[in-house]
């Protein structure tokens, strides 16, 4: 089973991206991304915007309760803040055999240092990362997204994880369905 973190406000084209997969795919809609998917509170990116709520543990607890109801193995996939959450969930929940962090918000304040200190033994597990070549051009804090993603991949490799990394075309909001399809396909192969 592959769980896809999705937004009711800006839904992913899961049906198109999941065509031809052997694995079952379940969309997990999350209403308030800035609160529900961030691992700890952080300031807003721009003045006047709402800050990040840091309630990922609550979202993870809800997801973990569903893992017992479906036969394994399990994987998680997310895009943007959903990708950050997918990676967070993968690190925190050992029943997740694989994750796909697609254009993940690994630039999040303190993320790479947290992952370096918190990554578990990942032997037998798989992580897939992708990012658009132009994403780093979006300015701060996104400017370092490629190097932060590479750091995440290396941290997981050092803990025994098999890791795939793809640098694709476009910026953050381009080629979303293609990135989702590639991530789901990588997870599908990993779970087979």
Q: 74-98, pLDDT tens digit by residue?
A: 999 999 999 999 999 999 999 999 9
Query: How high is the pLDDT of residue 141?
Result: 67
Residue (of 60, 54, 55) closest to 74 by Cα position: 60
Q: For the domain that residue 187 is a member of, what is the CATH number? A: 3.40.50.1820
Question: Taking 90 as the threshold, does the pLDDT of residue 145 lie above it?
Answer: no
Residue 183 CB coordination number (10 Å): 29
Q: How many C-beta atoms lie closer than 10 Å to residue 65's C-beta? A: 9
Looking at residue 23, the DSSP 8-state letter turns out to be: S
Prediction pTM value: 0.94
> What is the CA 13 to chain-centroid distance, rounded?
16
Whether 180 shows a pLDDT value over 70: the answer reads yes
Question: What average pLDDT does this structure show over 170-190?
Answer: 89
- Specify the DSSP class assigned to residue 68: T
Number of Cβ within 10 Å of residue 170's Cβ equals 16
- Please count the structural domains in the chain: 1
pLDDT band per the 50, 70, 90 thresholds, residue 132: confident
Containing domain of residue 74, as a range?
2-191
pLDDT top residue among 84 and 174:
84
């Amino acid at each position: 089973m592959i769980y896809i973190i999705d937004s009711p406000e800006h839904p992913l084209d899961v049906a198109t991206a999941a065509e031809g997969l052997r694995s079952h795919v379940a969309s997990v809609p999350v209403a308030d991304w800035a609160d529900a998917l961030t691992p700890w509170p952080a300031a807003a990116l721009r003045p006047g915007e709402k800050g990040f709520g840091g309630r990922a543990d609550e979202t993870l607890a809800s997801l973990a309760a569903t893992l017992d109801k479906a036969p394994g193995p399990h994987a998680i996939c997310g895009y943007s803040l959903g990708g950050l959450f997918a990676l967070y969930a993968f690190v925190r929940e050992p029943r997740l055999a694989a994750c796909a962090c697609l254009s993940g918000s690994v630039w999040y304040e303190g993320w790479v240092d947290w992952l370096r200190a918190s990554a578990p033994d990942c032997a037998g597990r798989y992580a897939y990362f992708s990012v658009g070549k132009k994403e780093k051009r979006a300015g701060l804090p996104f400017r370092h997204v490629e190097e932060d993603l590479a750091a995440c991949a290396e941290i997981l490799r050092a803990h025994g994880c098999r890791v795939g990394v793809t640098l694709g075309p476009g910026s953050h909001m381009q080629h979303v369905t293609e990135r989702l399809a590639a991530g789901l396909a990588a997870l599908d192969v990993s779970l087979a």
